[in-house]
């Protein structure tokens, strides 16, 4: 067999994110408090940029005036590399959970298809790192096989932080225990308790757990049980919050709702939104003939950066407001009458209605909050998967959960999941018993048998 080496040409298209694009993406997903902090910082280092405070005062740069440009900056124009470094310096904010996971996905993905699936899954994670959507929806959106989507989800569940990508608390905690290299006795017992008796654990019914274990023939001493509880206590129930840089920052709504007859109007929180402008004093130096050439070059670059930041903040506001207005319009019945009137609404629907890519919408709704008649709600809260009914329409999972909760709270005697299913059937609501059981568990409601005790 003979081998022959030859060279071939191949044309490929690859999207490279510029520093400006990275900045726009980061600004889009920043919470309002972080955006305000970031903009204030930029006004302090860019002499061409200023920001109006709540008192009407203007924050300006503390940097030296252009006449005092450092020596290394003089006698030459800014080249492309310097421009890139400068712009990258102003986006050096801590990585979000999504960014952290996408970086790992890029290193491990075997194909563009796998990356596309993984990117969509990661985009659907909530702030705590949970995957609350269905793999069927991801498979449909990416035109993939369900088995391929589930394979990528399992891969993401091995990423740092461990527990991310879980569908519920039980799965999240079990993933963390399984990730430990060597399981000792307390870890094995902790795994068993989480796997079978998590509902009792959440209610701190420790005696009930020990009794159940004993009934299965597993005799556990107090010391062994205590060690197992210590193991569970050291697990992280919300792995995504490790990337929440706003934990210590007060919750600031991005917008408020004002009712106008039967509809709601979205009022953007302009008081907290940074009001960025150009510093005219330095801008005038660009027009003066006696301004040194090096100073003008310096000011031109800062002016360009200032204009881009102002434009990016403006586009951020427009995108978020457009999404909010669409979501509020679609969930008007919920706002007027409560969760039982929630409509099915997924990310792809919103993206299609406003003419944006779903990844853009995913970033825009992350860490954004809106003041509603039901309190301050995260924008992502308004999204809800649906269950197809016999008439071909979809009923929101949130609406079904609300109805389950109301039924159980007003029951005369504990209703079994089968009885709840039958009740829904009489009301022409098609929901399987298995789904009722899953939703009841998500609502942290004990089974009918446990509610009798």
Strand order from edge to edge, sheet including 49-52: 58-59, 49-52, 275-278
State the alpha helices, DSSP H only, in 331-377: 332-337, 347-354, 358-365
Tokens of residue 183, six digits: 């399981």
Q: How far is CA 135 from the centre of its chain?
A: 17
**pLDDT reported for residue 4:** 54
What number of other Cβ atoms are within 10 A of residue 195's Cβ? Answer: 13
d(CA 351, CA 360): 8
d(CA 104, CA 160): 8
What is the domain partition of the chain in residue ranges?
169-243, 389-452
127 contacts 164 by C-beta, under 8 angstroms: no
d(CA 301, CA 37): 22
**pLDDT reported for residue 148:** 92
d(CA 33, CA 381): 20
* Phi (first) and psi of residue 49, to 5 degrees: -115, 135
d(CA 120, CA 112): 12
386 contacts 344 by C-beta, under 8 angstroms: yes
β-strands 255-260, 369-372 pairing: parallel
Whole-prediction pTM value? 0.55
**To 10 degrees, what angle do helices 358-365 and 112-123 make?**
30
* Phi (first) and psi of residue 174, to 5 degrees: -65, -40
- 375: three-class secondary structure by DSSP: strand
**pLDDT reported for residue 174:** 92
Tokens of residue 180, six digits: 């430990």
**pLDDT reported for residue 78:** 38
Per-residue pLDDT of the chain (453 residues; tens, 9 = 90+): 455 555 555 554 444 456 677 788 888 888 888 888 888 888 888 888 888 755 455 555 544 444 443 333 333 333 444 434 433 443 344 467 887 888 788 877 778 888 889 988 998 888 889 998 888 888 888 888 999 999 999 999 988 888 999 999 999 999 998 887 666 788 888 899 999 888 888 888 888 888 888 888 888 888 888 888 888 888 888 888 777 654 434 567 899 998 887 788 999 888 888 788 888 888 888 788 888 888 888 888 888 888 999 999 999 999 999 999 999 999 998 888 888 888 888 888 899 999 998 888 888 888 888 988 888 888 988 988 878 777 777 888 888 888 888 888 888 888 898 998 898 888 888 888 898 888 888 888 888 887 775
The residues, any chain, with a CB within 8 Å of residue 370's CB and separated by 6 or more, are 253, 254, 255, 256, 257, 266, 324, 328, 376, 377, 379
Burial 292-317 (b: 16+ CB within 10 A, else e): eebbbbbbebbbbbbebbbebbeebb
Question: What number of CA atoms fall less than 13 Å from residue 438's CA on the CB side?
Answer: 12
What number of other Cβ atoms are within 10 A of residue 46's Cβ? Answer: 22
**To 10 degrees, what angle do helices 32-45 and 293-330 make?**
170
Domain 389-452: CATH superfamily is Homeodomain-like (1.10.10.60)
Q: What angle do CA 264, 268, 269 make, to 5 degrees?
A: 130
Which of 194, 245, 206 lies closest to 32, judged by CA? Answer: 245
371 contacts 257 by C-beta, under 8 angstroms: yes
DSSP structural state of residue 13:
-
Question: What number of CA atoms fall less than 13 Å from residue 244's CA on the CB side?
Answer: 18
């Amino acid at each position: 067999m003979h081998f022959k080496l030859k060279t071939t040409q191949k044309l490929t298209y690859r999207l490279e994110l510029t520093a400006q694009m990275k900045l726009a993406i980061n600004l889009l997903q920043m919470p309002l408090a972080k955006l305000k902090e970031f903009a204030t910082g930029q006004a302090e280092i860019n002499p061409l940029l200023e920001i109006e405070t709540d008192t009407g005062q203007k924050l300006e740069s503390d940097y030296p005036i252009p006449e005092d440009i450092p020596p290394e900056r003089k006698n030459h124009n800014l080249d492309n590399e310097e421009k890139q470094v400068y712009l990258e310096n102003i986006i050096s904010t801590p990585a979000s959970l999504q960014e952290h996971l996408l970086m790992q996905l890029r290193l491990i993905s075997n194909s563009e298809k796998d990356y596309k699936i993984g990117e969509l899954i990661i985009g659907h994670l909530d702030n705590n790192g949970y995957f609350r959507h269905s793999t069927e929806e991801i498979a449909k959106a990416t035109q993939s096989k369900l088995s391929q989507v589930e394979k990528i989800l399992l891969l993401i569940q091995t990423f740092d932080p461990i527990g991310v990508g879980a569908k519920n608390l039980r799965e999240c905690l079990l993933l963390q225990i399984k990730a430990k290299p060597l399981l000792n006795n307390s870890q094995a017992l902790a795994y068993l308790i989480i796997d079978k008796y998590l509902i009792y654990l959440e209610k701190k019914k420790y005696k009930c757990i020990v009794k159940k274990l004993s009934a299965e023939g597993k005799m556990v001493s107090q010391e062994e049980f205590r060690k197992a509880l210590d193991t569970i206590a050291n697990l992280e129930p919300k792995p995504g919050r490790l990337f929440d840089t706003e934990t210590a920052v007060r919750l600031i709504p991005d917008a408020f709702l004002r009712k106008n007859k039967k509809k709601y109007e979205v009022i953007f929180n302009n008081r907290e939104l940074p009001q960025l402008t150009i510093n005219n004093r330095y801008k005038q130096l660009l027009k003066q003939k006696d301004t040194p050439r090096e100073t003008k070059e310096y000011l031109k670059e800062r002016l360009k950066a200032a204009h881009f930041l102002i434009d990016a903040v403006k586009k951020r506001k427009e995108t978020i407001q457009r999404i909010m207005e669409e979501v509020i319009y679609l969930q008007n019945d919920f706002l007027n009458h409560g969760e039982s009137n929630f409509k099915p609404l997924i990310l792809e629907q919103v993206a299609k209605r406003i003419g944006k890519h779903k990844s853009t919408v995913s970033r825009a709704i992350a860490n954004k909050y809106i003041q509603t008649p039901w309190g301050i709600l995260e924008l992502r809260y308004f999204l809800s998967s649906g269950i197809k009914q016999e008439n071909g329409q979809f009923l929101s999972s949130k609406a079904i959960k609300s109805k389950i909760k109301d039924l159980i709270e007003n029951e005369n005697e504990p209703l079994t999941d089968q009885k709840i299913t039958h009740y829904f059937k009489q009301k022409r609501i098609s929901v399987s018993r298995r789904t009722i059981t899953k939703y009841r568990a998500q609502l942290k409601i004990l089974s009918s048998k446990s509610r009798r005790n």
